[in-house]
Structure 1
Amino acid sequence: MSFARLALCIVGVYSMFLLWAIAQERLSVPFKHIDGQSSEKFKSPLVMGMCQSILSSLSAFLYIQLRRKPGDSFMRSLGLEPPTEGPPTSNGNGVIKSNGSTNPKSKSNGSTKTNGHTHPSKPSTRYSTSSLLLHYLQCSLFITSAAPFGFSALSYISYPAMVLGKSCKLVPVMIMNVLLYRRKFAAHKYLVVAMVTTGITVFMFFGNEGSSKKKSHSSTTGNGTPATPYATLIGTFYLLLNLLLDGATNSTQDEIFTRHRQVTGQQMMFFINVFCTLISLTLSVLPLPYIPVIHPSLPSPNGTWTSEMDVTLGFIRTHPDVVKPLVGFAMTGALGQLFIFETLQHFGSLTLVTITLTRKLFTMLLSVVVYNHTLTLGQWFGAAVVFAGISVEAFVKRKDVHAKRVIQEKEKAKLKSL
């Protein structure tokens, strides 16, 4: 079941975000004006993110309600009610169990004393709704802040440099897990991270287009400004902030699943996207002054500050062709997030980042087969290193699953003998 779920998550992430990338690329090129004479680019990434977060929260809400159990209240279906602790029972080994969980500190010598009374279910005192919501808000702030820094980095560094930086995303995810939450990983996890990061970096660096792109960007950056060392330093700084915020997001999501085991991926998806919508809506509606990276909109000709929402609505009125790719971007992103948070819940952030990073590699390899492209020797070596790292992860996972099944079979045999 674990392998089937992982395979479904991989297929879902790959398919939805391939379509998402197509829509995003369409949004990055100019749209024709209704007068048919001029063209302009859509320059509202904040509104793009808000549209996606609105549909993502709606899709998560519908999923939760469709999977809602008959006896669950509305608040419990959203994960906002503490889990109940029913009457304690003994598993025969001196360990008290409550609702399927074990507490090794509570012992009863193989029996449970209740003085002839049955204790009713009561809320868990270890649960904190406010703490859970604060963690959701923390993730939303990280996500909303990370996107502008990634977008702004392209104004100072080339796209290949951006891709190379993104290929090392596994490293900040692991670092932020260790620094923020003192989380430790198995030794093979560090090996897999190193192999996947090295393999993707080698694959990107030795691409056939690498040298030509480097030459084309040697004198100018992505927005046509001179590529000075000072500009490169700013772009690299923005990219590092983007990667660190992404790492903080993934590590905080891992912490939520660790602290609040009753939370499902779809519940997390719902609340994080609700908070992202509120933050993005506030920033896009308010006529804020110029804020570098976060709110880079310029004032109107009469000197008053305009909101990004007004600019976006005006663009849609004069460029109606933008609606279709914008809806496609939001819908594929929303459906893709269902698979994203399913992967997060059951396999953790490192596995998720491995899937999202290798998606680009598999897409490139697919284009090699379909369009008869050629790969350099360095690219084949990088691909081999990535596949080797994934194989190590799959081998260890398969071994762990087999060991768990052996333990479960032994427990079943012991219960039958009793």
Structure 2
Amino acid sequence: MVGQLLFCAAGIYLFFLTWGVLQERISTLDYVSVIDGSHGRFRFFLVLNLIQSIACVFVAYSVLRLQRRTLGPCSPSVLKQYARVALTGCLGSPFGYEALRHINYPTMILGKSCKLIPVMLMNFVVYRRKFEWYKYVSVAMITAGVSGFMLFEKEGGRGGANSLYGLLLLLINLMVDGATNSWQDKMFIDHRLYGPQMMFFMHLFSSIFLFLYLLLNPWNHEFSAALAFARNYPTVRGDVALFGLCGALGQVFVFYTLEHFGSLSLVTITVTRKLFTILLSLLWFQHRMRLSQWLCVGVVFLALVLESFYKRLVRDHQKTLKT
């Protein structure tokens, strides 16, 4: 089980680190027009999300075909649950983007670092799910360690004030994400789903919601503008296609982790990913870290080791009782 979890973490890190590089390239590169040689930047992020969702649908379906599995339960009640999860997944991001207009970036990063707490809270509030004591200790230590690391990294360059409205939007973003994760957990348990099945239907509904919004919203012309941009700047097509593919392959590992280990383990991986990315960058380019940051890294590693140790201890104890 530990080996599987490490494999999932490696897949998520690999594909989403590449995905992040491509996202930055698409949003910051000055593409050159084949028509008049002018420069332009891709600013159509809802269309980018739509392409990502469509890529996830095709990749999930391909994985199911390779595994010779069906799409799973498709009754109206199950489809309604898929639609609910997809809708909350779509709604979470706009709150985060809007929050960033009213709070500074370090506050956003610190809030995202505490994502483990609302995920655990929503599991308890909505489904009365309880966790082992070492899970609570591990979550507290990881949250404190990652938050402290980000805080010490960003200090001195904070810029901008934080409004109460922005903090409220950030809280809504975290709670919506927590609700999405807990609903996914419940669907896996209730319907015995496989990861690609959840991935297929969730992104199918997400694609429908995003497409309808872009097509029917009279105040939003992003879809037609993105098509025009792709015609004038054809280089962007390859970047966007690769972006969608890397995101979709990363999602395979995400939903496999959800299926086998639950949302709390998944969020632990995604929350620590940024810390390990920054740590790798610091070591690779031989930058210096403050002693306080090293202490925070130590807290996170200690939390992960303690959780792994006690999880194995509990599993060995249960095996002993069965024999």
TM tier relative to shorter chain: over 0.9
C-alpha distance in structure 1 between counterparts of 2:188 and 2:199, whole Å: 12
For 2:208, the equivalent position in structure 1 comes to 278
Displacement, 1:153?
2.2
Deviations 1:314-364 (A, max 9, x none): 222233332222112211110001000110011110000000111111111
Q: 2:270 maps to which residue?
A: 356
Deviation at 1:240? 1.6
2: distance between equivalents of 1:247 and 1:272? 16
Residue 263 in structure 1 maps to residue 188 in structure 2: no
- The answer to whether structure 1 residue 204 and structure 2 residue 150 are counterparts is yes
Letter in 2 for 1:80: P
The match for 1:253 among 184, 202, 220 is: 184
Residues 206-245 of structure 1 mapped to structure 2, 5 A cutoff: 206-207=152-153, 209-211=154-156, 213-214=157-158, 217-218=159-160, 227=161, 232-245=163-176
For residue 42 of structure 2, give the secondary structure of its aligned residue in structure 1: coil
* Cα distance between partner residues in 1 of 2:313 and 2:218: 55
CA distance in 2, matches of 1:272, 1:189: 28
TM-score, normalization: structure 2?
0.93
Partner of 1:320: 234
What letter is aligned with 2:122? M
Task: Tell me the equivalent position of 1:342.
Answer: 256
Q: Residue in 2 aligned with 1:138?
A: 84
Per-residue deviation, residues 5-56 of structure 1 (Å, max 9, x unmatched) = 11210110110111011011112215334133443x3222211111111111
For residue 288 of structure 1, report the CA deviation from its aligned partner.
Answer: 2.8
Tell me which protein shows more helix as a share of its residues: 2
Contact 2:31-2:236 at 8 Å conserved across structures: no
Equivalent residue number for residue 67 of structure 2: 67
Counterpart AA for 2:57: S
* Number of residue pairs matched by the alignment: 321
Distance 1:374 1:276 in 2: 42
- AA paired with 1:42? F
Deviation per CA, 1:349-386: give whole Å up to 9, x if none.
00000001111111112122211111111111111111
Show the counterpart of 1:415.
Answer: none
Identity fraction in percent: 42
Cα distance, 1:308 vs structure 2: 2.2
CA distance in 2, matches of 1:329, 1:38: 21
* Residues 31 and 322, structure 1, Cα contact 8 Å, conserved in 2: no
Q: CA contact under 8 A between 1:56 and 1:334: conserved in structure 2?
A: yes
Question: Does the 8 A contact of 1:27 with 1:42 survive in 2?
Answer: yes
Q: Secondary structure at the match of 1:60?
A: helix
Instruction: Give the SS at the match of 1:180.
Output: helix
- The answer to whether the Cα contact below 8 Å between 1:167 and 1:200 also exists between their aligned partners in 2 is yes
Q: Which amino acid aligns with 1:254?
A: D
Taking structure 1 as the reference length, the TM-score comes to 0.73
1:153 aligns with 99
Question: Structure 2 regions of 5+ residues with no counterpart?
Answer: none
Aligned to 2:27: 28
> SS where residue 374 of structure 1 aligns?
coil
Higher Rg:
1
Q: Which has the higher contact order (CA 8 A, sep 6+)?
A: 2
Across the aligned residues of Structure 1 and Structure 2, the Cα RMSD in angstroms comes to 1.8
- Higher mean displacement: 14-23 or 388-397: 388-397
Q: Which residue of 2 aligns with 1:194?
A: 140
Following the alignment from structure 2 to structure 1, what is the Cα–Cα distance between the partners of residues 136 and 291?
Answer: 26
Q: Unpaired segments of 5 or more residues in structure 1?
A: 70-76, 82-128, 219-226, 290-296, 298-306, 411-418
3-state SS of paired residue (2:211): helix
Deviates more, 1:359-368 or 1:24-33: 24-33
Instruction: Report the counterpart of residue 91 of structure 1 in structure 2.
Output: none
Change (3 A) 1:132 1:403: farther
Q: CA deviation at 1:258?
A: 2.1
Residues 1:378 and 2:292 aligned together? yes
- Residue 350 of structure 1 aligns with an amino acid whose one-letter code is L
Q: Which residue of 2 aligns with 1:301?
A: none
Q: For residues 390-417 of structure 1, give each alpha carbon's deviation from its aligned partner in whole angstroms, at most 9, with x where no partner exists.
A: 1121112222333354466x3xxxxxxx
Give the letter for the 2:96 counterpart: G
- 1:241 is matched by which residue type in structure 2? I
